[in-house]
Structure 1
Amino acid sequence: MRRTASPLSLILLGTGVFLLVLAPLLVQYVQPRAKVTPIDVDTLTVFTGTGSYFDTRRIETVTGRPLTITRQVRGDVADSVRSGRAVWDVSTSVDAEHTLPAAATHDSLQWTLERWVTDRRTNEPVHCCQESPAFDGEAYLKFPFDVQQRPYRWWDGTLGSTVTLRFAGRATVQGYEGYRFTGRVEPARTGTRLVPGRLVGQPGRPQVLAEEWYSNHGIELVVDRRTGRIVNAAIGPRKVLRAPGSAKDAVVLLDSRRLEFTPATQRAQVALASADNRRLRLLGRTAPLGAAVAGTLAAAAGVVLLAGGGRGRARRAGRAGR
C-alpha cells in the first residue's frame, strides 16, 4: 500500500527547514545591512557651560557668563536616496544669554551651516552632494559602527582639520555605559579678521588684519560601542585675536573650559542609542536564536509525525493483509 504523509507533518517540516535557513541569513546578511547611518535624522543637541566672550555691545570681553551651543542636524532624504550616502545639514550656533533663543541665528556670537556627507556603512567622508566644507577623518557627528579601543581622527570644524582622540576607558552617562575618548587642540591660526587697530594693541592704525587663533582645552566624547552614537560630549573652545605676527593674545573672542551636553540632551542621545541597539540585537541575536530554536522544534516535530504516521499506516496495512 502506498504511504502518504500527513499535511501537518509536511507543514511543520517545511516551516522548520525555512526557519533554520533564515537564522544564519539574519546574522550574515540582514544584520550587517541594518548597520547603516540613518538618513531621516532630525536631532537637536545642546551644550551649556560658562566662559568668556567678546560683547560687541560693550566692545570688551566679559567673563564668567553662561554660554550655549545649539546644534541642529537634519538629514536631506532626497539627496541621500539619490546618492546612496548619508547627507546631513548641520546648523551650529554659539549664544550668550542675550542672544537666545538660538533660532535667531543672526544675533548669535557665532553661527555656521555645514553639509556633512558620509558613507552609510563606514562613516568615512564622501565628497559629493555639495558637501561644505570638505571634511576628513573618521568621526564627527558620530563614530563608525562597532567602535574599537583605539585612537580615532575626529574632525574639528573650527580648526578645519582632524584631531586625534584617544581611548580613555569606559564612562557611564545617565546609567548607560560607553567608550570615552579624549583629546585637545594646541593653539593654531585659523584665519584673519579686519578690526580696529586699538583692539589688538595698535591704536595708531585705524584697521588691522588681525590673526584668529583657536585652541581647545579638552575634548571628551562618550560613544555607544555598537552604533557609534555620541551619548555625551564636552569641549573647551578658545578663540582669540592677535596682532599680525604677534605671539600674544590681544582679544578673547570666546573661551570656556567646559561646555557639555545638557542632561536632557544626554537622555535623548541615550534613548536613541538604546533603540538602535535593541534593533541590531533583535536582528543579530534574538531573531536568529529564536528562528533556530523554533526551526529545530518544528522540524523535529514534523519528522516525528512523518515517521510515526508512516509506521502506523504500515501496521494497519499488515493487519489488513493477514
Structure 2
Amino acid sequence: MRERGVSGKLGVILTGVGVFLLGLALLVRFYAYDRLAVVPLDQETVSVSEGPGATIFDIANQEEITVDLVSTRNVVGDVEASEEASDELGRQIAVWETLVYTNEPGEEIDTDDPPRSATYDRVAFDRHTGEAVKCCGTFTSTTADENGESIRNTIGFDGLYFKFPFQTKKQDYRFWDGSLGEATEIEYKDTETIEGMEVYRFEQEIPATDVGDINAPASFFGIDEEGEVTIDRIYSNTRTLWVEPETGVIIRGQEDQLSMANYEGEDVATLTDVVIGYNPETVSDNVETYSSLATQLKIVRIWAPIVLGVLGLVLLLLGVAIMRRRSRDATA
C-alpha cells in the first residue's frame, strides 16, 4: 500500500516536472529568444578599413595622385532617442549615429586640416530585422560649414544599413548606398569561413551612375574653356559583405569604388579608384566578439528548446505511465 502511494506521488511529480519543462522550452524559444535577438541601444564601436594604392584627385594640386587610404568608422547609439522612438512607434527601434572619415595613414584631422572625405549619418532601424525606419530626425552629412560644423540633410533611409537581420537567409536583400542615396539589391553568393566562423558572402553591384554635379574651374580638369564648368560625377561600386548569419553582423566588408569626373560624355579625371576593406584587426575583433553571441543565440533558439522539450516529454510520459499503472493496481 505504501509503495503504491510512493509511486503515485512520483508519477505526479514527474508529470508536473515534464509539463514545466515543456512550458519552459516554449518560453525560451518564443519569449527569451525574441528579447535576446535585438541590437543594443548603447552601441559603441570603431572599425578601420584600408585602401592601399588608391588613385584620387587632389584638389590642391589639381591632379590625380596615388595614396594609401585609411577609413575609420565610429558608431554610437542614441539611447534616449531609441527609447522614445520605440514607445512612439510601438516596436523596437534603435537610433545610431555613424561618423566615417577617410584620410592618409597617420594624418591629423582638425578644422584646418579636414580629412579627404567624411560622412556623418543618423539612422533609425528595426532592432530585429535591421531594416531602416523613417523617423527620429535621421540625416546625412558629407560637408561642413566654415566653423567645421556638419551641414545636415534630412533623409529617410531605406533597406539595410548597419547589419542584416538575425537569422540571415541565403537570399537577396536591399542594402543602402550613400552615394546613390537609395537601397539597391545585394545578392547572396556563397557560404565561406573566416577564422573558423561560417559567414554568408553577399555582393552588391552598382553600375556606373551619374550621382551629381561638380562645379569647378575648367582648368582643374585640363578642359580648354574659360571659367567654371559643370562636371558629372559618375560612380560605380562592387560592395562585398561577409555576414555571420545567426546575428546578422557584418564581419568583413570591402568596396571596389570608382568615381570619374565626366564632361560632356568624356571622362576627364579619376576622382576615386580604390579597393578598400576592413583591416585584419577589425575582422579578427568581429570574429572574437560575435562568435560567442552567435553560439548563445543558437543555443537559445535551437538546442535549449530541444533538450528541454525532449526531457520534458520523456518525464511527462513516464509520469503518466506510472500513474496509469498505479490506477490499474488499485482496481485489481
Question: How far, CA to CA, are the matches of 1:70 and 1:104 in structure 2?
Answer: 17
- Could you tell me which residue of structure 1 aligns to residue 214 of structure 2? 193
1:279 to 283, 296, 316: 296
Equivalent position of 2:105 in the other structure:
97
Determine what percentage of the aligned residue pairs are the same residue: 31
Pair 1:135–1:70, CA change in 2 (3 A): same
Counterpart of 1:136 in structure 2 is: 158
What displacement does 1:87 show? 0.8
Q: Which of 50, 55, 59 is equivalent to 1:52?
A: 55
Output one character per residue of 1:167-189: Cα deviation in whole Å (capped at 9) or x when no partner. Answer: 21112222212111113222212
Q: Distance in 2 between matches of 1:290 and 1:161?
A: 45
Alpha-carbon spacing, 1:34–1:292, altered in 2? closer, same or farther (3 Å): same
Letter in 1 for 2:156: A
> CA contact under 8 A between 1:227 and 1:276: conserved in structure 2?
yes
**What does 1:153-302 align with in structure 2 at a 5 Å threshold?**
153-216=174-237, 218-243=238-263, 246-256=264-274, 258-292=275-309, 295=312
Partner of residue 127 from structure 1, selected from 134, 152, 156: 134
Give the 3 Å change call, closer, same or farther, for CA 240–78 of structure 1 in structure 2.
Answer: same
One-letter amino acid matched to 1:229: V
| Counterparts of 2:80 and 2:195, CA distance in 1 | 35
Cα distance in 1 between the residues matched to 2:188 and 2:258: 23
Residue in 2 that maps onto 1:115: 122
In 2: Cα distance, 1:146 partner to 1:306 partner: 42
Encode CA deviations 1:247-301: one digit per residue, 9 max, x unaligned.
2222222211x21211111112222331321221232233323433554576688
Q: Which range moves more in the overlay, 72-81 or 191-200?
A: 191-200
**One-letter amino acid of the counterpart of residue 225, structure 1:** P
Mark the CA change 1:303 to 1:186 in structure 2 (over 3 Å): closer, same or farther.
closer
Sort the Cα spacing of 1:286 and 1:54 in 2 relative to 1 into closer, same or farther, 3 A: same
Name the Cα RMSD after superposition.
3.3
- Unaligned 5+ segments in structure 2 are 87-92, 140-154
More strand by share: 2
Distance 1:106 1:146 in 2: 43
Distance 1:176 1:219, change over 3 A: same
Aligned equivalents of 1:254 and 1:80: distance in 2?
36
SS of equivalent residue, structure 1 residue 124? coil
Q: Give the 3 Å change call, closer, same or farther, for CA 103–91 of structure 1 in structure 2.
A: farther
Contact 1:35–1:145 (8 Å) recurs in 2 = yes
Is 2:211–2:234's contact at 8 Å kept on the other side of the alignment? yes
**TM-score normalised to the size of structure 1?**
0.81
- 1:115-160 Cα deviation digits (max 9, x unpaired): 11112223222110111232122x2221122222222221111121
Q: Verify the 8 A CA contact 1:99 1:107 in the aligned structure 2.
A: no
One-letter code aligned to 1:209 = T
Amino acid paired to 1:232: R
Cα contact 2:130–2:161 (8 A) shared by 1: no
Query: What is the distance in 2 between the residues matched to 1:18 and 1:175?
Result: 37
Find the aligned partners of 1:31 and 1:106 in 2 and give their Cα distance.
Answer: 47
- Say which SS state the counterpart of residue 212 (structure 1) adopts: strand
- Under a length normalisation based on structure 2, what TM-score does the superposition of the two structures give? 0.79
Once residues 182 and 23 of structure 2 are traced to their aligned partners in structure 1, the CA distance between those partners, rounded to angstroms, is 47
Deviation at 1:58, TM superposition (A): 2.8
Change (3 A) 1:161 1:304: closer
Q: How many residues align?
A: 306
For residue 100 of structure 2, what is the amino acid of its counterpart?
T
